[in-house]
Amino acid sequence: MKRRVVVTGMGIVSCFGTDVDEFYAKLLEGKSGIGSIESFPCADWPTRFAGAIRQFDPGSYMEKKQARRVDPFIRYAMVAGKKALEHGGLTAEALANLKKERCGIIVGSGMGGMTVFHDGVETLLTGGGYKRLTPFFVPYIITNMAGALLAIDTGFMGPNYSISTACATANNSIHAAAEQIFQGNADLMLCGGAEAPILPIGLAGFVAIKALSTRNEAPEKASRPWDRGRDGFVMGEGAGVLLLESLEHALERGAPIYAEYLGGAANCDAYHMTDPRPDGSGVAFCIEEALRSAGVEKEAVNYINAHATSTPTGDLGELTAVHRVFGAHTANIKINATKSLVGHCLGAAGGVEAVATIQAIRTGWLHPTLNLEDPEPLLGDLDPVAGEKKAHAVRVAISNSFGFGGHNAVLVFAPYRPLAYVSR
């Protein structure tokens, strides 16, 4: 018998701001957050747009001097993590009364402190050599520092480490954090991912492998999951952090319960650095293992928040896997693509999309998939929620994330019911 794990708080940093309800309201409106890049000159680049965060101010969530020094991915993680605590009612006295040795943090990043790294290399080569390099260079580029600084500020002394599995990072982190609670190592965990890749070296890297859309004339139409006219993904950035607790701990402190985390799984395609297995077998096995972990039959699933990056091969690989797992039951499943509105947040994507999944459970509304004008036939009888939001009572939801290297991670969420309705 596993302990039950519930979601009691959410924190978001996105191109739509830092308020969870406002973020989801913008998604439901079908409003695109993708626009021209303004933070550096790129007028002659083949891709000149992204789902960028503009004029971000961490406010009172970080001490001002530290906020200026750290890499943006750390700023995003700190704000999203502390907002998740607030969302869960853990402020002031409530936060102080926690057993801090039973509280942990697993917040990962796919690429880490890219701005600090870029600036440091530039200083080393053109700005006076090693003597001019900041002593904060190493601490602020490593992926574990976001969670470490969150722990220093909150006093959480439980399990704390980072995971880096490219675009599967946040899902891997949430899965790992839930396992800490399932196994009795912690009562409460902050978990998710953060990424800040929209700078010249980040954009150039993805341009070099021709992974990005080049629809510069209409950025808001560039992310086109499952559309036959798609030509690559759109970069995004931000952070998504969940507050997970054991059910007993949540009930004891009177926490709000937004959803239940039923289970998850992680595996590897072991096939190619960037492409998924064409037959979808690795992803299919991961979905099956996640459902087994959750103790639910595939027929219980009626919503999928897809990875759906808008790449030619990735979209088809995921659809192939979904049909392989669910068969005729796909006629009963709605599937949508958050990236069509906010871009691909890389290591933060799973955290951002977990928030969207839980908000769908809470509100009974699914946000639309944008720009699906010429659907891939492989969608079959799956409902992609094209163009406009739809009312939908979610019974069981899965959220998929897949990363370069063949990393797959799948999470399973459901509405919280006091009496467990699935066998553990």
Digits of tens for pLDDT over the chain (424 positions)?
679 999 999 999 999 999 999 999 999 999 999 999 999 999 999 999 999 999 999 999 999 999 999 999 999 999 999 999 999 999 999 999 999 999 999 999 999 999 999 999 999 999 889 999 999 999 999 999 999 999 999 999 999 999 999 999 999 999 999 999 999 999 999 999 999 999 999 999 999 999 999 999 999 999 999 999 999 999 999 999 999 999 999 999 999 999 999 999 999 999 999 999 999 999 999 999 999 999 999 999 999 999 999 999 999 999 999 999 999 999 999 999 999 999 999 999 999 999 999 999 999 999 999 999 999 999 999 999 999 999 999 999 999 999 999 999 999 999 999 976 443 3
Please, what are the domains in the chain? 5-253 (3.40.47.10), 264-414 (3.40.47.10)
Phi, psi of 403 (to 5 degrees): -130, 160
Q: State residue 313's pLDDT score.
A: 95
d(CA 132, CA 120): 9
87 is an active site residue: no
- Catalytic site includes residue 329: no
| pTM across the whole model | 0.97
CA atoms within 13 A on the CB side of 399: 31
Output the pLDDT for position 414. Answer: 98
| 42 carries an active-site annotation | no
Which entry of 167, 191, 286, 345 is annotated as an active-site residue? 167
* DSSP-assigned letter for residue 15: T
By CB atoms closer than 10 A (0-12, 13-18, 19+), residue 210 is exposed
**Catalytic residue among 323, 344, 392, 407, which?**
344
The residue from 307, 367, 392, 407 that is catalytic is 307
* Residue 72: both structure tokens together: 């943006």
Region class of 29: left (phi > 0), else alpha (psi between -120 and 50), else beta: alpha
